[in-house]
Chains A and B, each alone.
Chain A
Amino acid sequence: EAQVTQNPRYLITVTGKKLTVTCSQNMNHEYMSWYRQDPGLGLRQIYYSMNVEVTDKGDVPEGYKVSRKEKRNFPLILESPSPNQTSLYFCASSLDTEAFFGQGTRLTVV
């Protein structure tokens, strides 16, 4: 089954403790992307990647890092999480038209 898989689905962590949210797709898509969704602000793009080793900033990249060492994986790294990064995160992948989204990761930073 074609899918985008994010892990974990839920995470509560403390300020400053590094964490990684994984994202994997099985459709051999070139494009992958991370979004965060906050009440009243909608979906905002954090980072995106055109292909392996090619990444670029979206609209809200501060406080986040990404890597694209393999086509199927696109982890989101928070080196020093802060409470303002509490949010619902979505990973997506695409060939060029339809985007497939993961089920989301709800992150709480206390």
Chain B
Amino acid sequence: DAKTTQPTSMDCAEGRAANLPCNHSTISGNEYVYWYRQIHSQGPQYIIHGLKNNETNEMASLIITEDRKSSTLILPHATLRDTAVYYCIVRASNTGGFKTIFGAGTRLFVKA
């Protein structure tokens, strides 16, 4: 699975959009970009994933660059409850045995 690079931490004002970047320059053609978040030692929570098209769900939007070497997770209206560590992961959708590598992630602080 391709390696990802994320900023260590970011701040965001409550109510504003939080834009979390991720670099994955070695991504392969069959690999998807996944985002998870972990709130204070709880189990990680799935947010969104995509292959090459932009994706949106009730939690967030995922913007993937045309060359697929980077992506941005957007939380459109961040709340205090969005304070968490956000992980960007690249893996094949059906990778054998569900082998998934989590990096260090980005610690997002949403401030009132």
> Is chain B a partner of chain A in the same complex?
yes
Residues of A whose CB lies within 8 Å of any CB of B are 4, 31-33, 35, 37, 42-45, 48-50, 54, 56, 58-59, 88, 90, 92, 94, 96-104
User: From residue A61, how far is it (CB to closest CB) to chain B in Å?
Assistant: 12
- Pair A50/B41 contact, Cβ less than 8 Å: no
- Pair A45/B99 contact, Cβ less than 8 Å: yes
Contacting residues, chain B, for A54 (C-beta < 8 A): 97
Main secondary structure of the interface of A (DSSP, over half): strand
Given A42-B104, A97-B49, A97-B93, CB of A33 within 8 Å of CB of B98: yes
18 additional A-B pairs beyond A31-B97, A33-B98, A49-B97, beta carbons within 8 Å, are: A32-B98, A42-B103, A42-B104, A42-B105, A43-B102, A50-B97, A50-B98, A90-B44, A92-B44, A92-B98, A97-B34, A97-B49, A97-B93, A98-B46, A98-B49, A100-B46, A101-B45, A103-B43
Given A42-B103, A42-B105, CB of A48 within 8 Å of CB of B44: no
Roughly how many angstroms separate A101 CA and B42 CA in the complex, as a whole number?
9
**How many chain B residues have a CB neighbour from A under 8 Å?**
23
Main secondary structure of the interface of B (DSSP, over half): loop
- Pair A48/B99 contact, Cβ less than 8 Å: yes
- Pair B44/A101 contact, Cβ less than 8 Å: yes
User: From residue A94, how far is it (CB to closest CB) to chain B in Å?
Assistant: 5
Most buried by A among B34, B44, B94: B44
Q: Contact partner of B42 among A35, A48, A50, A104, CB < 8 A? A: A104
User: From residue A44, how far is it (CB to closest CB) to chain B in Å?
Assistant: 8
